[in-house]
Amino acid sequence: MTLETYLLYLGVLAAFFATPPDTSQLLIMSNAMRHGLKRSLATVAGDLSANTLQMSAAAFGLTAIIAASADALWIVKWLGVAYLVWIGLTLMLSKPETGPANAAPAARLGILYRQGFLTSSANPYAVVFFGALFPQFIDPTLAVLPQLVILGLTYLVVDGAMLVLWGWLAQRTLGRIRLLQGVWLNRLSGALMIAAAALLGSRDLAAEAGK
């Protein structure tokens, strides 16, 4: 892989992430507002762990198998939608916390990690995406595995940085507005989760309509 090819890859990633917040980014925003950015790094870790598995699946040639398993994709996708809706409704219906600044109780890191992992895993098309993206930047005359490692690690770094940025912005702005304390913070966080579910479901419906 030449330097020019790598810079082109960075440009493609920049264009890919220069979009409104997606499902995982809405999740980190919600958790950062409720639990703080530091604890929400567990959510980032969960998301990147799922991405690592998805990239590994693409690298080992599973893209064609998953793309052919329409029923499995449909089930996984809608289980993910249901999971996000459940989180959102739980937040919206929860009672406001009491205590200094109505701070939300610290969630266990394992729960935050699981939310990030399951939310990212609920997008099985990511395997197809990685399987289509990486070959565009691989030089077949060179060793393939090191190139895949470079492309994958670069994606994880950029994705992780974007997740942290969205979480920081949410914590520094929306999370500090007095109106969004207590029950209103819960409702906003829940609304973000339901919006993430709607985004995930709409992509699935669009894919089905295009068949």
3-state SS record for the chain: CCHHHHHHHHHHHHHHHCCCCCHHHHHHHHHHHHHCHHHHHHHHHHHHHHHHHHHHHHHCCCHHHHHHCHHHHHHHHHHHHHHHHHHHHHHHHCCCCCCHHHCCCCCCHHHHHHHHHHHHHCCCHHHHHHHHHHHHHCCCCCCHHHHHHHHHHHHHHHHHHHHHHHHHHHHHCHHHCHHHCHHHHHHHHHHHHHHHHHHHHHHHHHHHHCC
Residue 99 lies in a domain: yes
Residue 63 CA: distances (Å) to CA of 48, 56, 143, 145: 19, 10, 20, 17
Look up the domain containing 167 and give its range. 22-209
In this model, does residue 82 exceed pLDDT 60? yes
**Any domain includes 95:** yes
Residues 188-204 have pLDDT tens digits of 667 766 776 676 667 55
Domain count within the chain: 1
On the question of pLDDT at 103 being above 50, the answer is no
Is residue 205, in this structure, part of any structural domain at all? yes
pLDDT of residue 185: 61
Look at 74-78, 116-120, 148-152, 164-168 and tell me which has the smallest mean pLDDT. 74-78
**Residue 1 forms part of a structural domain:** no
10 in a domain, yes or no?
A: no
Residue 4 lies in a domain: no
Q: What are the tens digits of pLDDT across the range 137-177?
A: 877 778 878 888 899 999 999 999 999 998 998 888 765 55
45-55 pLDDT, tens per residue?
999 999 999 88
| pLDDT band at residue 42 using 50, 70 and 90 as cut-offs | very high
Does residue 8 carry a pLDDT above 80? yes
pLDDT at 98: 44
Whole-number pLDDT of residue 120: 86
Q: Is the pLDDT of residue 7 over 80?
A: yes
Q: What is the mean pLDDT of residues 4-12?
A: 85
Across 179-183, average pLDDT: 53
Higher pLDDT, 211 or 129: 129
What's the chain's average pLDDT? 75
pLDDT for res 100? 39
Give a yes or no: residue 55 inside a domain.
Answer: yes
184 inside domain: yes
Helix pair angle (37-59, 125-133), 10° resolution: 70
Query: pTM for the complete prediction?
Result: 0.68
